[in-house]
Structure 1
Amino acid sequence: MGLDKNYSDEKKQITKIVVIEDNENFVKYLYSFFKFRSQHKIIHHFFNCKDAMNSESLGLAKILLLDIKLPQESGLEALPSILKEYPNLKVIVLTSFKDDEMLFEALQKGAVGYILKTDCFEHLENAIEQAKLGGMLFSPSMAQKILNHFKPKPVEKNNLTRRENEVLQLLKAGFTKKEMAAKLNISYNTVDTHVKNIYKKLNVNSNIRAANKNN
């Protein structure tokens, strides 16, 4: 029984790739990498974004492999214009930059992958497949940066005693030390000691800052 024709055509479909990269040696590595991967094909390479935008190649491609540091205009500067003109293009950043700032700028501007050149040949093919399916993929170290960014921050415990927390609540409410002493049925000196301990534990030096510290 033969394969369904549509299924067969889908299996044969080649992913067309455009590369914008000014390092000739790295481009040669990319061509060598895809040479033995018949399902993917680099259809054009450009040294800068302007030449790529002035060609018809981006309109034919499914994937754009984009460097950041480029002559004339950086990859991140050009990215919004590229995606405005070719909204269906899947852009994977290939770079040596490990900065958080670069990573999040690439994501904000529409990149669907951020792969470091140092480990790109381990992850590039998978990144392309994920991009085609509507997913995203990053070098492990960059993925960890994203996870760290969105990880809930631990709630700091104030280490105050029950009585110190009671005094702190009265501080927030604007009570004076004399009023607190009457309210809690303790001496003024005891209130004063509690307030000093609160300042020390919260590392603040005023009632207002103590109140704000624990909001």
Structure 2
Amino acid sequence: MQTDRLTIAIVDDHPIVIEGLKMLLQNEENLEVVAGFSDGEGILAYTRLNKVDLILLDITLPDINGMDLCRMIKKESTATMILILSNHTERSIIMQTIQNGASGYLLKNSSIDELRNCITEAVKGNICFSKEVTDIISRPTKNQLQGRPQLTRREKQILSLIAEGKTSQSIATELFLSPLTIDTHRKNLIQKFEVKNVAELIRVAHQQHML
């Protein structure tokens, strides 16, 4: 690792969280918080003009889903490391962010030591989780034990339309949503059913009498 200080940007929809993290990290000799943003567009615009070593990213943002934003940032700047700092404890969301290029996932109740450790591991090229997140992804969920994923009303609706062979565009038009939102639901369904593609998703959903 370079002797330079690691530049960090914080993205969270609550300004108080950004300020709190800045205060927590200001005494770290090897870290420097250079920017804070409360939406996805802000950090995307910033990273196009400035080099950022590490981004602390929330999942819930007003304009872009944090999982999608993670993928977008990594596509434009592969060298930028991303650690998710969120209140979301769903196993599917945690795994999706890692698939989208995040270097780790921490809950917002994590200690400064856990955050410090995850930053160190990310710099080494490793993937790191806070202890609570490690527990979440290592234990089988109630739904996994039952063998059937728990779906929201919207997910059931979209699963049914996918099974009819409809495209994301046509589903989006029918439900008055954006195609990006439908794609996110489609990815979440694939993740929840632990399958590789839509054909497998439909087959397994039929097997589990969810269609």
Question: Normalization by structure 1: what TM-score?
Answer: 0.61
Structure 1 residues 115 and 82: CA distance shift in structure 2, 3 A: same
Determine whether 1:100 maps to 2:100: no
Quick one: distance in 2 between partners of 1:103 and 1:64? Answer: 16
Gaps of 5+ in 1: 1-6, 150-215
Determine whether 1:39 maps to 2:30: yes
8 Å CA contact 1:59, 1:86 repeated in 2: no
Structure 1 residues 79 and 92: CA distance shift in structure 2, 3 A: same
Q: Which residue of 2 aligns with 1:148?
A: 139
Q: Which residue of 1 aligns with 2:39?
A: 48
8 Å CA contact 2:6, 2:31 repeated in 1: yes
Superposed CA RMSD: 2.0
Q: Which residue of 2 aligns with 1:26?
A: 17
Structure 1 residues 58 and 124: CA distance shift in structure 2, 3 A: farther
Which letter maps to 1:78?
Answer: L
Quick one: distance in 1 between partners of 2:29 and 2:9? Answer: 15
Determine whether 1:16 maps to 2:3: no
- 2:139 match: secondary structure: helix
Structure 1 residues 105 and 124: CA distance shift in structure 2, 3 A: same
Quick one: distance in 2 between partners of 1:56 and 1:77? Answer: 16
Q: Which residue of 2 aligns with 1:68?
A: 59
Which letter maps to 2:121?
Answer: Q
- 2:119 match: secondary structure: helix
Quick one: distance in 1 between partners of 2:133 and 2:68? Answer: 20
Q: Which residue of 2 aligns with 1:186?
A: none
Quick one: distance in 1 between partners of 2:126 and 2:57? Answer: 17
- 1:55-134 superposed matches below 5 A: 55-56=46-47, 59-134=50-125
8 Å CA contact 2:118, 2:130 repeated in 1: no
Quick one: distance in 1 between partners of 2:22 and 2:58? Answer: 15
Quick one: distance in 1 between partners of 2:60 and 2:49? Answer: 19
Which letter maps to 1:106?
Answer: T
Once the 2 structures are TM-superposed, how far is the Cα of residue 113 of structure 1 from its aligned partner? Answer: 0.7
Once the 2 structures are TM-superposed, how far is the Cα of residue 118 of structure 1 from its aligned partner? Answer: 0.8
What CA deviation, in whole Å up to 9, does each residue of 1:35-79 have, x standing for no partner?
A: 111210111111111111112477411111000000011211212
Which letter maps to 1:34?
Answer: L
Question: Normalization by structure 2: what TM-score?
Answer: 0.62
Q: Which has more radius of gyration?
A: 1
Quick one: distance in 2 between partners of 1:58 and 1:42? Answer: 16
8 Å CA contact 2:8, 2:54 repeated in 1: yes
Once the 2 structures are TM-superposed, how far is the Cα of residue 136 of structure 1 from its aligned partner? Answer: 1.6
- 2:88 match: secondary structure: coil
Identity of aligned residues (%): 22
Quick one: distance in 2 between partners of 1:92 and 1:133? Answer: 13
Displaced runs of 4 or more, over 6 A: none
Quick one: distance in 2 between partners of 1:122 and 1:92? Answer: 14
